[in-house]
Structure 1
Amino acid sequence: MNTAALSDSQLASRVVLYEFWTFGCINCRNVLPHTKAWHDRYAPDGLVLLAIHTPEFDRERDPDAVAAFLAERSIEYPVLLDPDKVVWRRWSNRYWPAFYLYDADGDLRRRHVGEGRYDEMETAIRVLLRVAPGSPRASVAT
C-alpha cells in the first residue's frame, strides 16, 4: 500500500527501517508518531521506511480496514500487507511493534521491540545516513 511493489534492487544500497505492526495493537499506535516523524524527517536523506502490517486478529486482515487506518492517520510511507504471516515467519519475528534497521550494505545495525528508546533509534538512523546532529532535520525530540 502507498507505493508500487518494491524490489530488492530498489532497496539495495539504502538504509532501510522495517517495522512489524498491526493497527489493532496499542503499542503500535503509540510508536506511530515517532515512526511518522522519522519518515518525514529522514526520507529526504535516503531513509526507506517499510511497515509490514501483520494482523493479530481477523478484523485486522481486511485490506480496506488497513487502508482506512492509513488514511485517517496520514501515513504515506510504504506498507506491506502480510495477512498470512509469511514475512513474519521468514524473519522469525514474534512481537508487535518490532523494528529492524539495516545499513546500506544490508547489515542489521539495530533491532528494537516495543515502545521507547526513540532517541537511540533516531541516533542510529542519523549515523547510518550520515546526517549531522546539527542538521535542521536531526532531532531526538520526536
Structure 2
Amino acid sequence: MKLRQQMPELTGAKAWINREVTKEQLVGGKPALIHFWSASCRMCKEAMPEMNEFRDKYKDQLNVVAVHMPRSEDDLDLEKIKETAAEHDISQPIYVDSDHTLTEAFENEYVPAYYLFDKTGQLRHFQAGGSGMKMLEKRVSRVLLETEQASE
C-alpha cells in the first residue's frame, strides 16, 4: 500500500478471534493500527509484548486490529492460532487471513508489519520488522496530535 491510500475493507476473514470489527467501526472516530503477525513467526512473538504495551497505552485513542497471516500449512490451524494468541495476550480483534485476502489487499509481504491509518482511514505510516517500536510510537503520537488538533 502507498501512503495516503484508504484502508481496505476488512472482509474475507476465515474467522475472527476475540471479536469482529468492520472498516466502518475503525474509521471516523480515532486512528487505527493494523498489525500483521503469524503463529510461526519468532520475530512476531518477540515483538508482541511491546505491541501489547502499545495497545494498552493507547487503548482510548487508537483502534488496534491484528491480522494473522499464515506463512505455512501449520499456520492454517485455527486452534493453534487461538493458542498462540492466548499465550501472547493478543486480546484485540484478530482477523484470520487464511486465504491471504487482506494480505493481498494491503499488498503486505512481511510479518510483523504495522499499518497506521489516521481517523479518516488514510494510510499514514508503514513499518515492517520486529524492532522499531520507537519509530512507530513517534508516528502514532503525530497522528494522535493531528486528531486532537482537528477536534478542537
Fold agreement, TM-score > 0.5: yes
Q: TM-score, normalised by structure 2?
A: 0.79
Of 41, 65, 86, the residue aligned with 1:25 is 41
Q: Hey, which bits of structure 1, 4+ residues long, moved more than 2 A?
A: none
Q: Partner amino acid for 2:107?
A: S
Of 38, 45, 55, the residue aligned with 1:39 is 55
Q: Secondary structure at the match of 1:126?
A: helix
Counting only pairs closer than 5 Å after superposition, residues 66-85 of structure 1 correspond to structure 2 as 66-85=81-100
Per the alignment, residue 113 of structure 1 pairs with 128
Number of positions where the alignment pairs a residue of Structure 1 with one of Structure 2: 129
In the TM superposition, what is the alpha-carbon distance from 1:115 to its structure 2 partner? 2.0
Of 69, 76, 79, the residue aligned with 1:61 is 76
Taking only aligned residues, the RMSD between alpha carbons, in angstroms, comes to 1.4
Q: 2:23 and 2:79 mapped to 1: Cα distance?
A: 26
Q: Which has the higher contact order (CA 8 A, sep 6+)?
A: 2
In the TM superposition, what is the alpha-carbon distance from 1:97 to its structure 2 partner? 1.1
Per the alignment, residue 119 of structure 2 pairs with 104
Q: TM-score, normalised by structure 1?
A: 0.85
Q: Which stretch of structure 1 is more off in the superposition, 80-89 or 70-79?
A: 70-79
Q: Percent identity?
A: 27
In the TM superposition, what is the alpha-carbon distance from 1:73 to its structure 2 partner? 2.1
Per the alignment, residue 86 of structure 1 pairs with 101
Q: Partner amino acid for 1:72?
A: E
Q: 2:100 and 2:136 mapped to 1: Cα distance?
A: 25
Q: Partner amino acid for 1:37?
A: E
Q: 1:57 and 1:9 mapped to 2: Cα distance?
A: 31
Q: 1:63 and 1:123 mapped to 2: Cα distance?
A: 34
Q: 2:23 and 2:111 mapped to 1: Cα distance?
A: 24
